[in-house]
Amino acid sequence: HNVAALYVVMLITGVSFGGFSSVFAPLIGEYFGLTHLGKIVAGVFSNGAPAGLIGPLLAGYIFDTTGSYHWAFVASGAMCFLAVACSFFVVTEVKRPRPETSRSAGAACPP
């Protein structure tokens, strides 16, 4: 049992979740606008709760059936690859602010 590997994985997981938490809402707001930000964030996190309940139960069932967690990890990895593949089909148009024109930088002029 390699304790050093456990610490490395814990560090990577902690940094990943910390990075995800800090950029998730701003990215959703930028991609989809602020009007539906609450609904989108609630939907994403609400879907995570059943997955957090079902995943360990399913992994336990796989272990009880096969005597190994191998296929549980294979299934989990396959779902991760499927999620990444699906992300390539997401088409969004990010609205970028217009660059400033020759007007003075602090003036409040309507477009």
| pLDDT per position as a tens digit, 9-28 | 889 988 888 788 788 888 88
CA 82/CA 92 separation, integer angstroms: 19
Rounded to two decimals, the pTM is: 0.56
Classify 111 as helix, strand or coil: coil
CA 40/CA 30 separation, integer angstroms: 12
Flag whether pLDDT at 59 surpasses 90. Answer: yes
For the ranges 33-42, 73-82, 87-96, the one whose mean pLDDT is highest: 73-82
* Secondary structure (H, E, C), 11-56: HHHHHHHHHHHHHHHHHHHHHHCCCCHHHHHHHHHHHHHHHHHHHH
Classify 61 as helix, strand or coil: helix
**Mean pLDDT value of segment 52-76:** 94
